[in-house]
Amino acid sequence: MIHMAETKVNESEKPRIGVFVCSCGSNIGGFVDVPSVADYAKTLPDVVYATQNMYTCAEDGLSNIREAIRKHNLNRVIVASCTPRTHAPLFQATCESAGLNKYLFTFVNIREHCSWVHMKEKDLATKKSKDLIRMGVARARLLKPQEEAKVEVEPVGLVIGGGVSGMTAAASLADMGFPVHLVEREGDLGGFVKILNNLYVTEKSAAETIKPLIEKVTAHKNITLHLNSSVKSVEGFIGNYEVGIAPKGGEEKKYKVGTIVVATGALEFVPEGLYGYNQYPNVVTLTEFEILCRKKTLPKLKSVAFIQCVGSRGQKMSYCSRICCNVAIKNAINIADNYEDMLGVMEKQGTLVDKIPVEKKATEEILERRRRRRGRGTEGEGDAEEVKLGPSEKIEVTVFNRDVMAYGVEHELTYNKAREKRVKFNRYTLDHLPKVFMEDNQLKVTYFHETLKLERTMPVDMVVLSTPLVAQPDAGDLSKMLKVPLGQEGFFLEAHVKLRPVDFATDGIYVAGTCKGPADITEAVTQGAAAASRAATPMAKGYVQAEALSSVVDETKCTGCGTCIEVCPYGALRKNEKGIAEVIVAACKGCGCCGATCPEGAITMTNYTDAQLLAEAKAALQEEV
Amino acid sequence: MAEASQAQWEPKIIGFLCNWCSYAGADLCGVSRYQYPTNVRAVRVMCSTRISPHLVLDILKAGADGVLLGGCHIGDCHYISGNYYTEKRVRLMKRLLEESGVEPERLRLEWVSASEGEKFSKIVTDFTEQVRKLGPSKVKKDEKLRSRVAAADDASETFRLKALVGRELNLVNKGNVYNNKLDPAELDRIIDSATEEEFERSLILELSMSKPRSVKELGEIMEVPTDKVLRHIVALRQKNMIAMEHPEGFTPTYKTIVIGGEQ
Amino acid sequence: MEKAVMVIGGGVAGIQASLDLADKGLIVHLVEKTPSIGGRMAQLDKTFPTNDCSICILAPKMADCFSHPNTNVITYSEVIGVEGSVGNFKVKVLKKARYVDESKCTGCGECLEKCPSKVVNDWEMGLTTRKAIYIPFMQAVPRVMTIDKEHCLKLTKDKCGNCMKACKRGAINYEMKDQVLEVEVAAIIVATGFDVWDPTPSTEYGYGRYPNVFTAMEYERMINAAGPTHGHIQRRSDKERPRKMAFIQCVGSRNPQVGHPYCCAVCCMHATKESMLAREHYDDIESTIFYKDMRACSKGFYEYVERAKRDYGVRYINSDATVQENADKHNPIVVYDVGGRQQSEEFDLVVLATTLVPKKETAELAKLLGLKVDEFGFLESSDRILGPGRTVKPGIYLAGYAAGPADIPESVAQGSSAAAKAVEAIAQAGG
Ligand SMILES: Cc1cc2nc3c(=O)[nH]c(=O)nc-3n(C[C@H](O)[C@H](O)[C@H](O)COP(=O)(O)OP(=O)(O)OC[C@H]3O[C@@H](n4cnc5c(N)ncnc54)[C@H](O)[C@@H]3O)c2cc1C
Ligand SMILES: Cc1cc2nc3c(=O)[nH]c(=O)nc-3n(C[C@H](O)[C@H](O)[C@H](O)COP(=O)(O)OP(=O)(O)OC[C@H]3O[C@@H](n4cnc5c(N)ncnc54)[C@H](O)[C@@H]3O)c2cc1C
Ligand code: SF4
Ligand code: SF4
Ligand code: SF4
Ligand code: SF4
Ligand code: SF4
Ligand code: FES
């Protein structure tokens, strides 16, 4: 499919330039004296052929170019017409079809940059067209044929993180037929979801819901699972990574992979010192609340308050965590609908749960420990005795919020449903934060009533704090190892917020799930599959081809100062064993930053050398000859 | 007579436009038929970050009346961070132009997005007028000015200035990695004083290329105090870039050491 | 045998899906209903939260998608029949006659100038006119003309024929007939996007009655430099530029009584963007946004809103709002309530964030394909949690706004995700 141009020019051969000036109907012809421009082109150095066409891009124009290349033995072609941004590929392909390397083609724009912007000055526009062609000729004389580098891609994927997004990415790659290494640092797959109660839009338990995915990943013949393991080292570039994976306390082993998906997830923010957390009993985070529900260990409650945006939206973290409103709504509905189902062992005694210990991450342990402290260490969930309360509607649920992020169809309808179930949504502003305190052995919440403009206090039995997802504390290590950036608040930063949501700027590495920023499961697995698609592309092709637009280091001039390595946005430069800068052609995008920066002037750009640019620019300063 | 040639004279302006935004903006300007004067000749580069001070200074040395640089808006660069460097480099270019005596207004950097066709026409119109007011470049006629521009060009290529400007962003932004974030204003100050020094040293080399010159002579031509000239000469001698020649009587003269065939 | 996939809908989601597939060496047939690919994103001015110029970042993708050696972009076409199942679907595509030979037209536009028939320009949201022979927008892909047969004098009354005379390429063909193509594909991706709901029935906003009430989509075209007013914000009544603008959110959405109960998920953000852009155009414009909940909840969105408040002076008022008019100057008056007290304020111009609804035809398409739609017409996934984008029909996948409210990055991710699923299916089927 990709065809390499045969190289017709040997470098010492004298340039033989052909110039094709286009009238583009009357688009150029109407405002520029095209015949005189074509005549003028003939007088320029090394131009052996010049002509005009009505439409150079039409098939007759193109065949004119092909014929002229053969008949006049042209080794440089210049088309003076519209803009290279849309038409260069067409003319380059035409040159190639006539055996001329596409890098020997030069585009001169006399339409967008001339005839269309100087419609009332035919003489001046004609003069400018001549100047522009003279510039093009000056450039063309210095062009060299280029080969496009091809780099083989190892068709093996690596996925870091075994949560829903990582599992989805791995399963997708595996289903497409690529072997995948899936690295999870914990002993089980499932990530954050495995400790949750139920998931929204389903009554099924979270663990049940993701079980099929875990089973698929575990059983898949193309997936090599590395549980209790982590990535220790990464060397190389797209198509050719060597990664070291080591089990906990074990030996590091090296694997060769072509592409990498990062899906390391996020943690829940611990609201230390906020709203009586870790100070009063029964003040818990959302995750802790879900664990209580799942374990069926909820105490008897008459009134529950959710406080939203605890530590988010400018309080500790600057961002909105996207999921916590909907998770709170889910739990509010659970209380209204399934409360009796979640009541647990403690209710027999009618006591309240005492405070939940603070952990970096809420785990099973929290509950284990609490139970042990209560002297019922060995009791299982099954022992929970049915304790019937009155009708669940009698439980009052209030959600103190700043804005309710029930975006889209599903969430908004669920939000409406919650209100129908008489869950109260109370808005607060930053000027009047709710307060949680203990009075007469009763937990209370004070809030500001916006309509009445006064403070009110209500007794509650439990306060659930909706805290945001926060970046993994060790994301920075991975970021350094992979040379991919972290953005705001420690989440991974994608290549382009709009159009490349699961790519990193560095080719060959992709990102999915909450390690990129808060997202729910549906969004995380969409990103997982998307990342798999992106990662599969170079592997399916088997190679990556770099446009010959890259930097070139002159080894004799480079002193290894490393400035270029610092400025390259794509990590496309590294030091070789001699301590000299080396370009990874497959990774270089040809921006030229390193070239303009190199203090030793050791870097030039293929096809955009200083000499070519200066010749082109200086030709403009000459007078018409 | 002079007036007549003045009337005939048309500014010659070179534009360097990045492929992804400013060139595309110029394209859209054409598509939308916004008119502008015919003075700009555009050279397409992939990114504005490609434009080293050398390219600009060399073009001005060759007699261009103005240089227009176009890039994507900050944050929009197709190569993520390219135009941040452009901004830093343009600052250096302007400082060097000031040193050399060429009006820094002959150089202009503009951010034009691919949808700002009309803006492109306005910029070209405005800049052409600005250059017209400045009059023809004096570089070609004024030999002294030409050597000063050449010195500015050389200075821009020195290790110190390139490394400083290249590292500037990292020093300011990623300072935390090294745990000593640099204050941008402080860094600008450091760069400015380095610019002045490197310019004067390059000028000494430039002036002492064709014939040996004494410190006093250099001081007079350069309009720099002799003690400062002497300090530069000491530094240049240490780097083996200038040699003392036949001390005639008590006044030594200095000549630039030319390596190889270059310059 | 070469494996092929069909993508229906050439918006950003469909383009992304096509590119992901084509880059993997699969053949893609992209069927787009309108004369150009690009979808809604091509109409937007800038995009939140980066304020990137929309068409600038999209146009290269459109060009890539069109000229990719593995894509076959069939514009001005619709799917009219589907048979078979995963691995071998046979799809019938109706390619409508555009009366211009795509292989000959160079998009030079000479024909346009000679065409006497003026038509309301839908693409510009009716803010201006186009000719009967037209290219929907400057950056359209493919860049070829189409004759609107309803309004062409030659095709309706056998009169004019100017464009044929004007066209030096001989591209015009009044005899052209609709064609039915039969395409065999292994999988199908549906990405038919959304439509903008016309808020005229919600009379409390005065749209259609008060000249200076606009929809957000109209406003997007108006602030676009390549749009009908060249980027100048103008009142309909007197072409003056406004100094005080109001944005009203959830117009027809989040309203189970009139309109639609769901949230469109993008309008809080686009209103924020639009108010910021107003300030970028004229630094004395003051904007107020009336909202129910400020749903700024993706990466960088909350910060974006904070920036709008801080750096662009945008005022946010948490209230429902309705519109009346001061008939003297045609100034809209916004009526709202804060803390239970009704208030009103006069503005120069009002922009309504109207509901975004799935395309009407999508429901018919769903029937053809055997897919399920929800009560609002959004295409339904079979597994909402772990399999978004999969449908009840194996081998058919969803992406973009057609499957539920999604902004551009989500649509792009869904496009890639659907591509992955199609490749999985093909590989599993023995590829
Ligand atoms: C209280 C709460 C309730 C929620 N309820 C819902 C709900 O009802 N519905 C819903 O859709 N979403 C819900 N969510 C969101 C859901 O949890 C996330 O969307 C989901 O977990 C994201 O999956 P992930 O794979 O991206 O990350 P995670 O689930 O966090 O998985 C990341 C995995 O990577 C591993 N890992 C991390 N670092 C490394 C490393 N360096 N090397 C190897 N492995 C590593 C971790 O151990 C973990 O297994 C809820 C979230 C919270 C906090
Ligand atoms: C006023 C406004 C401003 C916005 N601003 C932003 C913003 O700043 N940032 C952001 O991220 N998002 C923004 N959005 C949202 C954004 O427009 C959508 O997320 C995006 O366009 C969805 O892309 P899509 O490909 O799914 O659908 P669309 O863009 O609607 O594309 C669908 C395509 O399918 C075609 N089609 C439809 N039916 C058929 C059929 N039956 N057969 C064949 N083809 C068919 C259509 O013609 C169209 O080309 C904005 C939306 C609005 C209304
Ligand atoms: S609670 Fe709601 S508004 Fe607050 S951070 Fe979470 S999702 Fe955002
Ligand atoms: S040209 Fe740009 S991408 Fe290539 S090595 Fe240099 S800085 Fe990096
Ligand atoms: S139909 Fe003919 S005149 Fe019209 S744009 Fe196409 S080539 Fe030009
Ligand atoms: S024939 Fe039709 S499309 Fe052509 S110019 Fe006449 S009215 Fe317009
Ligand atoms: S995104 Fe905002 S304006 Fe749009 S429907 Fe949802 S809440 Fe209303
Ligand atoms: S690409 Fe335009 S400035 Fe970098």
| DSSP run (H or E) holding C286 | strand C286-291
Distance CA(C393)–CA(B116), nearest Å, equals: 45
Report how far ligand 1's centroid is from the alpha carbon of A246 (Å): 22
**Is C251 in the same domain as C374?**
no
| DSSP run (H or E) holding A106 | strand A105-109
Q: Which CATH superfamily is domain A157-265+472-545 in?
A: FAD/NAD(P)-binding domain (3.50.50.60)
Is residue C407 a contact partner of residue C269, using CB atoms and an 8 Å limit? yes
Mutate to test the interface with C, among A409, A491, A502 (most CBs of C within 10 A): A409
pLDDT computed for residue A382 by the predictor: 37
Concatenated DSSP letters of C217-273: HHHHHHTSTTSTTTT----TTT-PPPSEEEEEEEESSS-SSSS-SS--SSHHHHHHH
- Closest CB to C385: pick one of A176, A201, A314: A201
**Is C349 in the same domain as C378?**
no
Give burial (CB, 10 Å; 0-12/13-18/19+) of A508.
buried
End-to-end CA distance of chain A: 45
**Is C27 in the same domain as C128?**
no
What residues have CB less than 8 Å from B185, skipping those under 6 apart?
none
**Is C17 in the same domain as C150?**
no
Torsion of CA B79, B77, C20, A240, to 10 degrees: 10
pLDDT computed for residue B127 by the predictor: 98
Q: Give A564-603 pLDDT, tens digit per residue.
A: 998 998 889 999 999 999 998 888 889 999 999 999 999 9
**Is C340 in the same domain as C260?**
yes
Which structural domain, as residue segments, surrounds residue C235? Answer: 198-355
**Is C75 in the same domain as C186?**
yes
pLDDT computed for residue A111 by the predictor: 92
Distance CA(B243)–CA(B213), nearest Å, equals: 11
Return the amino acid letter for B174. Answer: K
**Is C279 in the same domain as C236?**
yes
Closest CA–CA distance from residue C60 to any residue of chain B (Å): 9
Domain count, chain C: 3
| Interface touch C110/A25, C-beta < 8 Å | yes
Q: Give the three-state DSSP class for A398.
A: strand
Q: Give the three-state DSSP class for B66.
A: strand
- Closest CB to C53: pick one of B31, B113, B118: B113
Q: Distance of CA C200 to CAs C208, C262, C290, C376, Å?
A: 6, 19, 19, 19
What band does A7 get if pLDDT is binned at 50, 70 and 90?
Answer: very low
Q: Which of C311, C335, C355 is the last residue of a domain?
A: C355
Residue B178 has pLDDT above 50, yes or no: no
| Interface touch C226/B119, C-beta < 8 Å | no
Q: Which structure tokens are listed for A338?
A: 């399934």
- Closest CB to C413: pick one of A201, A496, A527: A527
Distance CA(C17)–CA(C30), nearest Å, equals: 10
Q: Which structure tokens are listed for A593?
A: 């930053």
* Nearest protein Cα to ligand 1, atom 14: A520
Instruction: Kindly state the average pLDDT of the residues C364-393.
Output: 96
Is residue A334 a contact partner of residue A200, using CB atoms and an 8 Å limit? no
The answer, for C368 touching chain B at a CB cutoff of 8 Å, is no
Decide: A160 in ligand 1 pocket, CB within 6 A: yes
**Is C262 in the same domain as C140?**
no
Q: Which ligand approaches the C-alpha of residue B82 most closely?
A: 8
Percentage of chain A surpassing pLDDT 70? 89
Which residue shows structure tokens 């649509």? C411
**Is C203 in the same domain as C186?**
no
Chains in contact with chain A (at least 3 beta-carbon pairs closer than 8 A): B, C
**Is C338 in the same domain as C385?**
no
A547-606: which CATH architecture?
2-Layer Sandwich (3.30)
Distance CA(C20)–CA(A532), nearest Å, equals: 11
Q: Give the three-state DSSP class for C79.
A: strand
Higher pLDDT residue, C1 or C393? C393
Q: C104 lies in a domain?
A: no
pLDDT computed for residue C231 by the predictor: 86
Query: What chain A residue is nearest to C109 in terms of C-alpha separation?
Result: A27
- Mean pLDDT rounded to a whole number for chain A: 88
CB atoms < 10 A from the CB of A581, how many?
27
CB pairs < 8 Å spanning A and C: 201
Percentage of chain B surpassing pLDDT 90? 56
Q: Which of C301, C328, C355 is the last residue of a domain?
A: C355
Is residue B66 a contact partner of residue B41, using CB atoms and an 8 Å limit? no
Report the nearest atom of ligand 3 relative to the CA of A403.
3
Q: Give C319-363 pLDDT, tens digit per residue.
A: 999 999 999 999 999 999 988 889 999 999 999 999 999 999 999
Q: Give the three-state DSSP class for A61.
A: helix
Q: Which of C329, C355, C381 is the last residue of a domain?
A: C355
| Interface touch B29/A117, C-beta < 8 Å | yes
Find out if CATH 3.40.50 is the number for domain A17-146: yes
Instruction: Kindly state the average pLDDT of the residues A370-385.
Output: 37
**Is C221 in the same domain as C290?**
yes
Torsion of CA B25, B27, B33, B34, to 10 degrees: 30
User: Per DSSP, what are the bridge partners of residue A21?
Assistant: A52, A80
Report how far ligand 5's centroid is from the alpha carbon of A81 (Å): 17
The answer, for A128 touching chain B at a CB cutoff of 8 Å, is yes
pLDDT computed for residue A392 by the predictor: 47
Return the amino acid letter for A367. Answer: L
Distance CA(C224)–CA(C43), nearest Å, equals: 9
Instruction: Kindly state the average pLDDT of the residues C257-271.
Output: 93
Q: C262 lies in a domain?
A: yes
Q: Give C10-66 pLDDT, tens digit per residue.
A: 999 999 999 999 999 999 999 999 999 999 999 999 899 877 778 877 887 898 899
The answer, for A611 touching chain B at a CB cutoff of 8 Å, is no
pLDDT computed for residue A108 by the predictor: 98
**Which residues 124-163 of B have a C-beta within 8 angstroms of A?**
157-160, 162-163
| Interface touch C50/A537, C-beta < 8 Å | no
Is residue B255 a contact partner of residue B211, using CB atoms and an 8 Å limit? yes
- The CATH number given to whatever domain includes residue C247 is 3.50.50.60
Residue A331 has pLDDT above 70, yes or no: yes
Instruction: Kindly state the average pLDDT of the residues A551-564.
Output: 92
Report how far ligand 8's centroid is from the alpha carbon of C24 (Å): 29
- DSSP summary character for residue A515: G
Q: Pairing state of beta strands A454-459 and A442-449?
A: antiparallel
- Closest CB to B162: pick one of A131, A549, A599: A599
Instruction: Kindly state the average pLDDT of the residues A174-198.
Output: 96
* pTM (global) more than 0.90: no
Q: What is the ipTM of this complex?
A: 0.96
Distance CA(A289)–CA(A268), nearest Å, equals: 12
* Phi, psi (degrees; rounded to nearest 5) at A504: -90, 160
Q: Could you state, in order of their start, the residue ranges of all structural domains in chain A?
A: 17-146, 157-265+472-545, 311-462, 547-606
Q: Pairing state of beta strands A396-401 and A424-427?
A: parallel
* Helix boundaries (H) for C97-224: 110-114, 153-157, 162-166, 216-222
Ordered structural domains, chain B, with CATH = 10-134 (3.40.50), 208-263 (1.10.10.10)
CB atoms < 10 A from the CB of A551, how many?
26
Query: What chain C residue is nearest to A408 in terms of C-alpha separation?
Result: C263
Q: Which ligand approaches the C-alpha of residue B80 most closely?
A: 8
Q: Which structure tokens are listed for B99?
A: 């040193």
Q: Pairing state of beta strands A223-226 and A229-237?
A: unpaired
Residue A354 has pLDDT above 80, yes or no: no
**Is C370 in the same domain as C411?**
yes
In 3D space, the residue among B176, C48, C300 whose CA is nearest the CA of residue A318 turns out to be C300
Report how far ligand 3's centroid is from the alpha carbon of A320 (Å): 5
Q: Give the three-state DSSP class for C302.
A: helix
Q: Pairing state of beta strands A509-511 and A259-262?
A: parallel
Is residue B34 a contact partner of residue A117, using CB atoms and an 8 Å limit? yes
What band does A60 get if pLDDT is binned at 50, 70 and 90?
Answer: confident
Distance CA(C293)–CA(C406), nearest Å, equals: 17
Chains in contact with chain B (at least 3 beta-carbon pairs closer than 8 A): A, C
